[in-house]
Structure 1
Amino acid sequence: MLFSQLAVECQKIINSYQDYQVSVAIIDGEQSFLYKENQLFRAASTIKIPILLASYLNLNDRLDTVATIPEELIVEGAGVIPFITGKLPFTYRNLMELMIIVSDNTASNALLHSNSMHHVNHLMQKIGCKGSKIERYFMDESAVQNGFDNYTTAKDMILMLQQIGEPGGVLNDSQRSDALRILENQQFEDMLPAYTFDEEIRYYHKTGGLTGVDHDVAIINYRQKKLYVAVLTQGWNDGFTGKKCIAEIGKVIVDYLKE
């Protein structure tokens, strides 16, 4: 399958969900498919990627020291920390792993607090993100009711992933390798990777979901090929149609990679 065919098939899928909001960015070297890539979406847990980037930069000298988790930032939702008995001595690196691998909201809040919203937002601006912004902690519903939220775009997500997938960005090679390790261990596989069990296709990705919102953003490697993919969706009336839309795009990507 040529990249032009991939673009045609992705557009067909997007058109079949025209009653909803879908944004797609797929980059393969110099080739790209972009659809509403600058549209602003509620970021959900995809905004944990810039927190990961910031943690390597701001906490680098203490990643393997015991982390501080403020009591007021311990929240439920995704993750495991609030449900573990006793107080385990998590390191900052452990929090980074939990934030991505099981999308732990408490770990994310602790890291956001340690980095500060200002520094994470400044980092996103530094790497060229024009629409992304963090305005609240995770699971802070009162902030949402007062008009504060976290936002991103498909284009911005690609820029963030490229900081991990390409040399010469804000992370050094060791940090990029560690970030890829963490992203590859992502436990939520029901969107972009849903239609393949091929172990040669490697996904380094982060999902995100809220009521009516489903996202998946990824670096996808297959042999000598590497794609950057961001699929953001919102406006769903149930908990599975958005995931299905993203999975269908993921299947077309698999077909493109393997043909």
Structure 2
Amino acid sequence: MELEKRLSKIVQESAGTWGVVVKELAVPQGICFEHQPDELFIAESVIKVPIMAAVYAACEQGKARIEDQLPLRKEDLVGGSGFLYALSPGLKLSIRDLVTLMIIQSDNTATNMLIDFVGKELIDQTMRELGMERSYYSRKVMIYPQDVTANNMITAGDVARMLEHIVSGSGFSRAARTEMIAIMNKQQVLNGLPSQLPSASNQDGLPGWELACKSGWDTGRQHDVGILFVEGRQFAIAALSQDVTPEAALHTLGLLGRAVYDYAVA
């Protein structure tokens, strides 16, 4: 198909190593493009999506309510993305607000607070239930010296299956799925998959879109994953990279997002 050819050309002409999966959801014979879907990549902040899912699973199991509050402790404060590390211990935030900060600002302090809340066992269980067969969670973020040296790892195939479960899987209530997508739709880092899409304000006359996504990056690695909603269609996109400069990777991510959009509206 034309989209598969276009995606293949984008990946082949890109620097670095890539794992890419694009799948149209809710369509039995929908497009499914795969490039190294089982290649393991260091997860970076993409691991925060299954952590979010584990939080909602805990709440649906009755272990807490999403409105319950958790106190910010001095030992929770870690640097990197986000701003909670700059606030005063003792502040209380709802679980929902912590999830929101973890996703839309990639707040590392919020992430570790939620990891402590749900625990590794439930994160592992949730990842399995989301179809993440090769991926695994190992440790909290921005902890130095590291108490666990193994990295959190993901594959593009696993991430695409996870996104599909979040959209339509049976493991969550409709309300939980809707809320998780709404939070991802507010991500503030938009320099990857959405970067070459038309204006979301629809001023250019092209069909509108939403992209519920989560990015992650570190030296030599740049990931972006999400669900593109356009023209009544849904596409899971998982794009992971390594051994590539940020500029080159972000350009490739933008091309991938635009290719899927153009296919959907053609």
Same fold, TM-score > 0.5, yes or no: yes
Aligned to 2:22: 26
1:249 positional shift: 1.1
1:119 and 2:116 correspond = no
Q: Which runs of 4+ in 1 moved over 6 A?
A: none
The alignment status of 1:66 with 2:69, answered yes or no, reads yes
Name stretches of at least 5 consecutive residues in structure 1 with no aligned partner: none
1:243 and 1:141, CA in 2 relative to 1: closer, same or farther beyond 3 A?
Answer: farther
Q: After superposition, give the CA deviation of every residue in 1:103-161 in whole Å (9 maximum; x if it has no partner).
A: 101101110111111210122123321111111111124338x6411000111111111
2:153 aligned with 1:151, yes or no? yes
* Residue identity opposite 2:166 in structure 1: I
Give 1:85 deviation, angstroms.
Answer: 4.9
User: Residues 164-243 of structure 1 correspond to what in structure 2 (within 5 A)?
Assistant: 164-166=166-168, 168-196=169-197, 197-199=199-201, 200-236=208-244, 238-243=245-250
Q: Is the 8 A contact 1:143 1:149 kept in 2?
A: no
* Cα offset, 1:57, TM superposition: 1.4
Q: 2:251, 2:4 → 1: CA distance?
A: 18
Retained in 1: the 8 A contact 2:225–2:237? yes
Distance 1:5 1:202 in 2: 23
Q: In structure 2, what residue type is equivalent to 1:249?
A: L
* Segment of structure 1 superposing worse, 55-64 or 177-186: 55-64
* Residue type of the alignment partner of 2:13: S
Q: CA deviation at 1:98?
A: 0.4
In structure 2, how many angstroms separate the alpha carbons of the residues matched to 1:81 and 1:165?
Answer: 29
Partner of 2:194: helix, strand, or coil? Answer: coil
Asked if 2 retains the 8 angstrom alpha-carbon contact of 1:48 and 1:99, the reply is yes
Partner of 1:254: 261
CA distance in 2 between counterparts of 1:243 and 1:117 reads 31
What is the TM-score when the length of structure 1 is the normalising length?
0.92
CA distance in 2: counterparts of 1:215 and 1:25, whole angstroms = 12
Residues 207-226 of structure 1 show CA distances to partners (whole Å, capped at 9, x for unaligned) of: 11111111111111112211
Q: Deviations over 1:2-34 (max 9, x none)?
A: xx11111111111112x5110110001332001
Residue 204 (structure 2) aligns with: none
- Please state how far the C-alpha of 1:257 moved relative to its aligned partner: 1.9
CA distance in 2, matches of 1:246, 1:132: 21
The CA distance in 2 between the partners of 1:141 and 1:244, in whole Å, is 32
Secondary structure at 2:3 match in 1: helix
Once residues 153 and 207 of structure 1 are traced to their aligned partners in structure 2, the CA distance between those partners, rounded to angstroms, is 14
* 2:11 counterpart (11, 14, 21): 14
Q: How does 1:88-107 map to 2 (within 5 A)?
A: 88-107=91-110
1:147-194 per-position Cα deviation (integer Å, ceiling 9, x unaligned) = 41100011111111112211x421100111111110111101110100
Deviation at 1:70, TM superposition (A): 4.3
In the TM superposition, residue 87 of structure 1 has moved relative to its aligned partner by 4.3
Query: Secondary structure of the equivalent of 1:94?
Result: helix
User: 1:23-74, CA deviations, whole angstroms, 9 ceiling, x for partnerless residues?
Assistant: 1100013320011011000001111111111101113432212113443232
C-alpha distance in 1 between matches for 2:20 and 2:228: 15
Give the aligned CA root-mean-square deviation in angstroms. 1.7
After TM superposition, the structure 1 stretch with the greater mean CA deviation from structure 2, 149-158 or 128-137, is: 128-137
SS in 1 for 2:138: coil
CA distance in 2, matches of 1:181, 1:126: 21
TM-score, length of structure 2 as denominator length = 0.89
Give 1:93 deviation, angstroms: 0.8
CA distance 1:163–1:108, shift in 2 (3 Å): same
Alignment check: 8 A CA contact 2:73 2:90 kept = no
Q: Which amino acid aligns with 1:20?
A: G
Distance in 1 between the 2:2 and 2:144 partners? 42
Kindly, what percent of the aligned residue pairs are identical?
27
